[in-house]
Structure 1
Amino acid sequence: MNLTGGIVLFASLWFLTLFCVMPIGQRSQADAGEVIPGTHAGAPSGINWRRKLIWTTAITSAMWAVLAWIILGGVITRADISNLDQWIR
């Protein structure tokens, strides 16, 4: 894995993790009791973006470190992946 591959892997994992973290702890405007006129009652209310982004970055960093160790450490090689069909039989 080169530098570009590492950055692309991190960015892909970061956005995937962000979409998984966003709904956690989310409250709707109906739950908060303050529905803004012209919006749906199920619209989010008071999202703490800083906290979600920090959690997203922390989780992604841990996943990326494990995947980088697997790739760079030779735990799983390209030869292992190309011979994967022999394991299934």
Structure 2
Amino acid sequence: MKLSSIVAIYLLFWWGCLFLVLPFRLRSSAEPEALVPGQAESAPPRFSVWRTVLWTTIVSLVVFGLFYVNYLNGWITADFFDLTRFRDA
């Protein structure tokens, strides 16, 4: 696999994992903390972008690592998803 393909696939995994990581450690404003004027009651009081980026990077590295090891060893291939093999002949 070329380096450009590795980078492109990793970036796809990173963006996909971002949406999985976003709800981690979110707390609503219903917890005891002062609301900022104009803040919606459902908005989180503190959101750490860098913590989210760090967790997204860690999760995406693990998921991409599993993908790459599968790519090298061929554990799950496209033939695994061939549903026509189950048709009656």
TM-score (norm 1): 0.75
**Alpha-carbon distance change, 70 to 55 in structure 1, aligned in 2, over 3 angstroms:** same
Higher helix share: 1
Partner residue of 1:54?
54
In structure 2, the partner of 1:8 is 8
- Once the two structures are aligned, what percentage of the paired residues are identical? 28
Measured after TM superposition, the shift of residue 49 of structure 1 is 2.6
Q: What is the Cα deviation at residue 35 of structure 1?
A: 1.3
- 1:87 matched to 2:88? The reply is no
How many residue pairs match? The answer is 87
Matches within 5 A, 1:10-89: 10-77=10-77, 80=79, 84-89=82-87
* Aligned residues: CA RMSD: 2.2
Q: Which runs of 5+ in 1 are unaligned?
A: none
Consecutive unaligned residues of structure 2, counting only runs of 5 or more, are: none
Q: Give the TM-score, by structure 2 length.
A: 0.75
Following the alignment from structure 2 to structure 1, what is the Cα–Cα distance between the partners of residues 44 and 77?
44
Secondary structure of the equivalent of 1:30? coil
Give the counterpart letter for 2:66 in structure 1: V
| Contact kept in structure 1, 2:29 and 2:35, CA below 8 Å | yes
Q: How many Å apart are 1:30 and its aligned residue?
A: 3.1
